[in-house]
């Protein structure tokens, strides 16, 4: 497909996403099934265009004074890709399945449009109803923080220390321009390709053999802050696909026991193959059994309970930009109730002096500091571990600089730490 035809396809997919209000991944998959002539490179390039437009949806619509998919795509080509007027016009010829030629109004907006005077939700590319909650979290850094959440994300890898060392993985992945991550001692960062896509790992021996796993540096740091030691008993209460359970297994050197569970058994489906590939032998998967207390035998036995809590996912907007436009106010209340329930549930599994590590990929106070405060108010036997002590216990003292100013825990974000957005708090039973 020629570049202009890819742009036309991306506009068609954006229309589908808006009309049906469904995830971008579903719309992209259906488009690919209906257009089998498009090769893998075409589909990848089209997906990149779609995600760029979704990241910059509000600012692009403001720039072009047009909230339709075509206007958003035109704005994104300028704001996300930095294309010149001439380059953009060359994509819109109306020939060979390309979009129709630019109108005079569109040419004028490309030449003269800017974000001067744009409201905060436009400059930061987020839903306007979230502004009060985001302003409470970020204060005068609201636009800087949310604009960073609207940028592209690099591809981060965690080196599996059960199978090798970072220096060796760094050398083997040098041709992909791998570099050490800023904070994680087991992380590698791969830059985006020139067209904004992540490099493919499908054929990389290190990935196939489980020597590296895809995991954002922020997620790696959340696992490292658990300070899991060989021989401990740990429960990953919301294990999902197993990313943090795998990280804990490597930290514990396959010694002790990790119980990986999730209330929704289908989320655990990928974990089995990942555990085998990684050589993680101290992880016992505990899928839910309807009508049974399937974790009852773990009561009072665990040194560590990790809660990677379901949340609004605001910290992952760089990777899932469509999610921010689909989120609704009711979803926040639902997540807060789930988070309270998980914190209360976690306490029954701990030994005396055991610890809960509460993690979200949200940046809202409602889902983070306020949930921890609510739990502590009803559980006098717990105390929050100060951020500096958390960081030092994990051997990462530099992370103390990300201590929350609104309560216990640490806050990471694209603007502050260069990672996805995460909140991590440790609560210790006295």
361 is catalytic: yes
The bridge status of strand 302-308 relative to strand 283-286 is unpaired
Burial of 118 (0-12, 13-18, 19+ CB in 10 A): middle
Binding site: residue ranges? Answer: 262, 308
Binding site for S-adenosyl-L-methionine: residue ranges? Answer: 262, 308
Handedness of CA 343, 345, 347, 349 (dihedral sign): negative
Reported as half-sphere exposure (CB side, CA atoms, 13 A), residue 288 has a value of 13
Tokens of 146: 């949310």
Tokens of 183: 């904070």
Whether the CB-CB separation of 347 and 382 falls below 8 Å is answered with yes
Q: In what order do the strands lie in the sheet with 179-180?
A: 179-180, 187-190, 155-159, 212-214
Q: What is residue 298's three-state secondary structure? A: helix
The CA distance from 323 to 125, in Å, is: 12
Q: Give which of 360, 357, 379, 341 is closest to 137, Cα–Cα.
A: 360
The CA distance from 353 to 398, in Å, is: 25
CA distances from 415 to 144, 148, 150, 159, 373 (A): 7, 6, 11, 24, 26
Catalytic residue among 226, 238, 311, 361, which?
361
Q: What is residue 320's three-state secondary structure? A: coil
Q: What is residue 242's three-state secondary structure? A: coil
Whether the CB-CB separation of 404 and 387 falls below 8 Å is answered with yes
Q: How far is C-alpha 65 from the chain's CA centre?
A: 30
- Active-site positions read 361
């Amino acid at each position: 497909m020629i570049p202009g035809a890819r742009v036309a396809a991306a506009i068609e997919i954006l229309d589908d996403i808006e009309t049906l209000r469904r995830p971008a991944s579903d719309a992209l998959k259906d488009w690919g099934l209906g257009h089998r002539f498009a090769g893998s490179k075409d589909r990848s390039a089209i997906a990149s265009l779609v995600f760029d437009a979704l990241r910059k949806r509000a600012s692009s619509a403001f720039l072009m004074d047009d909230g339709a998919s075509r206007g958003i795509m035109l704005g994104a080509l300028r704001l996300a890709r930095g294309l010149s007027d001439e380059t953009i016009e060359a994509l819109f010829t109306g020939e060979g399945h390309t979009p129709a030629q630019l109108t005079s109004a569109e040419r004028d907006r490309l030449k003269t449009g800017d974000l001067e005077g744009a409201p905060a939700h436009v400059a930061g590319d987020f839903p306007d109803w979230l502004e009060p909650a985001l302003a409470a979290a970020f204060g005068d850094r609201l636009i800087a923080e949310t604009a960073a959440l609207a940028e592209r994300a690099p591809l981060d890898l965690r080196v599996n220390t059960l199978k090798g060392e970072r220096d060796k993985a760094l050398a083997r992945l040098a041709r992909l321009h791998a570099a050490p991550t800023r904070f994680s001692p087991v992380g590698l960062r791969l830059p985006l390709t020139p067209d904004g896509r992540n490099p493919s790992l499908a054929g990389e021996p290190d990935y196939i053999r489980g020597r590296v796993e895809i995991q954002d540096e922020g997620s790696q740091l959340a696992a490292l802050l658990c300070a899991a030691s060989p021989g401990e008993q740990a429960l990953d209460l919301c294990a999902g696909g197993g990313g943090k359970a795998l990280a804990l297994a490597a930290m514990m050197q396959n010694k002790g026991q990790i119980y990986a569970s999730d209330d929704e058994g289908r989320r655990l489906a990928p974990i089995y193959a990942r555990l085998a590939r990684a050589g993680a032998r101290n992880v016992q998967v505990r899928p839910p059994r309807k009508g049974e207390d399937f974790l009852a035998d773990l009561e009072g036995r665990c040194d560590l309970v990790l809660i990677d809590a379901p949340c609004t996912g605001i910290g992952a907007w760089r990777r899932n930009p469509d999610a921010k436009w689909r989120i609704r106010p009711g979803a926040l209340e639902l997540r807060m109730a789930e988070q309270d329930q998980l914190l209360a549930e976690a306490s029954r599994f701990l030994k005396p002096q055991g610890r809960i590590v509460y993690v979200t990929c949200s940046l809202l106070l409602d889902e983070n500091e306020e949930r921890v405060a609510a739990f502590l108010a009803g559980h006098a036997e717990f105390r929050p571990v100060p951020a500096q002590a958390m960081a030092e216990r994990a051997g990462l003292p530099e992370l103390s600089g990300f201590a929350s100013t609104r309560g216990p825990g640490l806050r990471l974000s694209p603007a502050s730490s260069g990672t996805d957005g995460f909140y991590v708090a440790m609560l210790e039973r006295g």
